[in-house]
Amino acid sequence: MLDAEDIKVATFHSHYGAMMFHKRVAGSLLRPVPRSLSSSCGTAVFFSSPFSDECTDENTEAVYQKEGEIWRLIWKK
């Protein structure tokens, strides 16, 4: 489940990459990429647990932290 005060979103180069990340991060959710982050319509992973580099792989594109109405980039490949 997501903590409304601490929402992060990870974006990927492929749907499979999102699935793998989702499996590695407990309580995460697969959702379409937010429009404000990208004009592409790929799959993203929303999560609230602490972010670690170890959750990423070559398919992970970037990770953002929600701050009010904006997404702040906190990790990029």
Partner 1 sequence: MKLGEKQKLGLTGIAIGVIAVILVVLGNPKNMGFCIACFIRDTAGAMHMHTAPIVEYVRPEIIGIILGSFAISVISGDFRPKGGSSPVLRFVIGFIVMIGALVFLGCPLRMVLRLGGGDLNAFIGLLGFISGIAIGCVFLSNGFTLGKAAVQSRAEGAALSAVTTLLFILFIAAPSLFLFSETGPGSMHAPVAAALLAGLAVGIISERTRLCMAGGIRDIILVRDYTLIIGFAGIFIASLAGNLITGNFSLGFSGQPVAHSKHVWNFLGMLAVGLGSAMLGGCPLRQLILAGEGSSDSVMAVLGMLVGAAFAHNFSLASSADAGPGINGKIALVISIAVLLLIGIVVTLRERRKA
Question: Binding residues for partner 1, per CB under 8 A?
Answer: 13-17, 19-20, 30-32, 35, 39-43, 59
Say how far apart CA 55 and CA 5 lie, in whole Å. 21
State the nearest-atom distance from the C-beta of 49 to partner 1, in Å.
Answer: 19
Query: Residue 69 carries which DSSP code?
Result: T
CB-wise, 17 or 50, nearer to partner 1? 17
Least distance from partner 1 to the Cβ atom of residue 65, Å: 20
**Smallest gap, in angstroms, from Cβ of residue 16 to partner 1?**
4
Closest-CA residue to 41 (of 9, 15, 22, 64): 15
Q: Between 45 and 48, name the residue whose CB sits nearer to partner 1.
A: 45
Q: Where are the beta strands (DSSP E) in the chain?
A: 8-12, 29-32, 43-47, 60-67, 70-76
